[in-house]
Amino acid sequence: MPTDRKIRRALLSVTDKTGLADFARGLLAYDVELLSTGGTAQALRDAGCPVTDISEYTGFPEMLGGRVKTLHPKVHGGILGIRGNPEHAVAMSQHGILPIDLVCVNLYRFEETVSRDGVTRAEAVESIDIGGPSMIRSAAKNHEDVAVVTDPQSYPAVLEEMKAEGGGLRLSTRQRLAAEAFALTARYDAAITGYLSAREEDPGFPEALALRFRKLDELRYGENPHQKAAFYRESVPVTPSIAFAERLGEGKELSYNNILDLDAALRCVNEFDAPTIVIVKHNNPCGVASARTLREAYERALEADPVSAFGSIVASNRAIDLATAESMAAPGRFIEAIVAPEYAEPALQHLLKKPAWGKSLRALRAGTLGNTTISRRPGALREYRSVMGGLLVQTPDLSLMEGVEAEAVVGTPTEAQTSDLLFAWKVCKHVKSNAIVLVKDGQTVGIGAGQMSRLDSVKIALEKAGPKARGAVLASDAFFPFPDALEAAVAGGITAAIQPGGSKRDSEVFTSARKSGTVILLTGQRHFRH
């Protein structure tokens, strides 16, 4: 069987008409007959390309508002007929079916439609393409004989190969195009599934999970240089999100670890209303502070752990102004990447040009922060994490004191303590478990993260804080299993603690707190982050 097939007849029916006229002219240069539908046929005529309407070829008019036009045996028979199969040849001849050697189709913009605010169910359903996926799948199935082109970016390469192959395409190319086509229809069906499922009050977890992500970048490497990696994002925009943030300047490409750290920083800073800076290192906050001005917030976040902050990731919940940029770019400071809602132009130029590391800085604009996606697509939000041979799926940890009120079970906190306890609780949610966060005056002073023992996390946080632990408050992402960790914190100067409660030894912990005069608030909510 020959590995190449000369293209004599092509069917073009596209929503995205980018490059269509040039592609059609390229096909005509090899005497390819063009079949087309509706708006595509009109666009080709407007470009001066001779074309035969699909209704003229099938002898059947387009009908039902365009819903039925290519769903016809003369279309699908021409695509699916196996060249060289005598039975297929006889049947095609008997019914006047002409071979179609290339199918160029892209689909109705379903994902774009459903991502618009206020789109109705009727509008969404009407944007589901039926004929397009059918033609794409038919052509991809019969790729031994038929080429299927679904991406306008493929047009130049297809024409170039036709030139090299005398008007045909190699089997390897047809097979690659078929794989791309099936990936497109799979993603398209997943988008429809996701939309319809998300409209349910509680969509739950389906028996068969269909994911829809588009490749954004191939990364230089993964967590380590010997690992390959790529960055994908959801087809429907999610905000705020690193995947949909805009890169500014000419800085280095984002690395796998940069993306993880930026995501951690953005999630954390998104919890706060006052001007706040979050500094992240190795996927954990190392300094978080709120203040009246963003510059002051940055200085205080940096002060929390200046050693760890060197070569870090920074997130802001306010536009970066020039004063903050000047502080960030001060001598002796080094930032790998920054994500913020916006940048004042003088601030951005200062960051990109002033420090020696500015030329490699990754600056990302995330747009408006706040849970904009949460209110619009509550049922669609899922988090995914792989294990060897499997995938874990969960709803994201969005609630923070939602529907609950912290209960003072030991003592009564002062207004200042309450403010700091809630601040610490927000940060603690974003620290790897076992997580301990010490806060004083709206600033983290010590963080213990990712330890196997909660007592060890307390010790690390106290060591980081040093004298600043005196008068600070503590947040713990889960209950204290024994009184020892709280007692160590109190010995270090902690005056109040917030934690979920729920340990079998809660009463022992509370008794110890009463003896030391330490305030205890319970949330009833755990925030593990593994």
C-alpha torsion angle, residues 446, 450, 452, 455 (rounded to 10): 10
Distant-in-sequence, close-in-space partners of 209: CB < 8 Å, separation ≥ 6: 391, 393
| Cα gap 459→111, rounded to integer Å | 50
| Cα gap 6→11, rounded to integer Å | 15
C-alpha torsion angle, residues 326, 330, 333, 335 (rounded to 10): 20
**Chain centre to alpha carbon of residue 488:** 40
- Note whether 472 and 420 are within 8 A (CB): yes
Which conformational region is residue 475 in: left (phi greater than 0), alpha (psi within -120 to 50 degrees), or beta?
A: beta
DSSP label at residue 68: B
CA dihedral over 293, 294, 295, 301, signed as positive or negative: positive
User: Which of 6, 88, 252, 282 is an active site residue?
Assistant: 282
In DSSP notation, 293-349 reads SHHHHHHHHHHH-TTTTTTEEEEESSPBPHHHHHHHTSTT--EEEEEES-B-HHHHH
H or E element at residue 514: helix 506-516
Please say if 282 is a catalytic residue: yes
| Cα gap 465→471, rounded to integer Å | 11
Q: What is the 3-state secondary structure (H, E, C) of 457-507?
A: HHHHHHHHHHHHHCCCEEEECCCCCCCHHHHHHHHCCCCEEEECCCCCCHH
User: Which of 17, 141, 252, 354 is an active site residue?
Assistant: 141
Beta strands at 213-219 and 246-248: parallel, antiparallel or unpaired: unpaired
| Cα gap 261→255, rounded to integer Å | 10
CA dihedral over 511, 460, 465, 320, signed as positive or negative: negative
- Note whether 510 and 476 are within 8 A (CB): no
**Chain centre to alpha carbon of residue 266:** 12
Catalogue the active-site residues.
141, 282
